[in-house]
Amino acid sequence: MKTALIIGNGKEVNKEIIDRIRHDYVICADGGLEKAKKYGIIPDLIIGDFDSTDPDILKEYEKRIPLERYPAEKDFTDMELAIESAISRGYKHLVLAGATGTRLDHTLGNIMLMEKYCKTGVNITIIDNNNEMRIISDNTDLLLDGKEGHYISLIPLTDSIQGLYLEGFKYPLDNVSVQRGSTLCISNQIRGKAGKIRLRQGKAILFISID
């Protein structure tokens, strides 16, 4: 599946993590342009109001990279504008880097964008130096391998998630329902080489985390 990488202005992600992401298209959302420069990545598109971008770096890139400029006073964040732009170009699988950080309002807003676009068939993954986040929903059958030492958490987004099975985990579950707001599925771990998650109904955020 073709993937668009969107680099935002949140906390910088280590270059070795970025290098592992296979992508076909790169969009920098505002200050994400400075991070792309550090990574040695030439973006395909630069987008935002550019209130947090070094003017000299912006000048260097805007001569050779398509740029979409928006006013600072607008109804969407630069990250959402970048997502919309990727979708308009036919991308249904997006990876967001620089989407988390000290501004919890922006972090939570970006996490909720995963839910918003999941409803339209767009799969968004958020990564940072300690976490990978994505949405799982009805009839998920997922095998997680190579995650030894990580913490696996599920946070329900719907009123409940039903028919949840966790196999190969320290704390297995067998056909349980979990209510929204419950912390039952936080900080589990895979025992062995792989763990299996099956979800019959509902929607949840899947966190794969490491300290």
Structural contact between residues 195 and 149, judged by C-beta atoms closer than 8 angstroms: no
Which residues does 118 contact at the CB level (< 8 Å), separation at least 6? Answer: 124, 135, 137, 203
The answer for residues whose C-beta is within 8 angstroms of residue 4's C-beta and 6 or more apart is: 23, 24, 25, 26, 27, 86, 89, 91, 93, 94, 95
Is residue 172 within 8 A of residue 115, CB to CB? The reply is no
d(CA 7, CA 137): 26
Q: Whole-model pTM? A: 0.94
Which tens digits make up the pLDDT trace of 140-180? Answer: 999 999 888 899 999 999 999 999 999 999 999 999 999 99
Distance CA 23, CA 141 (A): 24
Please state whether beta strands 45-48 and 25-29 pair in parallel, antiparallel, or not at all (unpaired). Answer: parallel
pLDDT the model gives residue 63: 84
Domain spans in the chain, listed from the N-terminal domain onward:
3-129, 136-209
pLDDT reported for residue 38: 94
Distance from C-alpha of 96 to C-alpha of 105, rounded to nearest angstrom: 16
- Give me the CATH code for the 136-209 domain, please: 2.60.120.320
Q: pLDDT tens, 50-90? A: 888 888 888 888 889 999 988 878 889 999 999 999 999 99
Instruction: Fill in the DSSP letter of residue 14.
Output: P
In the prediction, which pLDDT does 98 show?
A: 97
SS3 (DSSP) at 87: helix
What's the length of the chain?
A: 211
3-state secondary structure of 194: strand
- In the CATH scheme, what architecture does the domain 3-129 have? 3-Layer(aba) Sandwich (3.40)
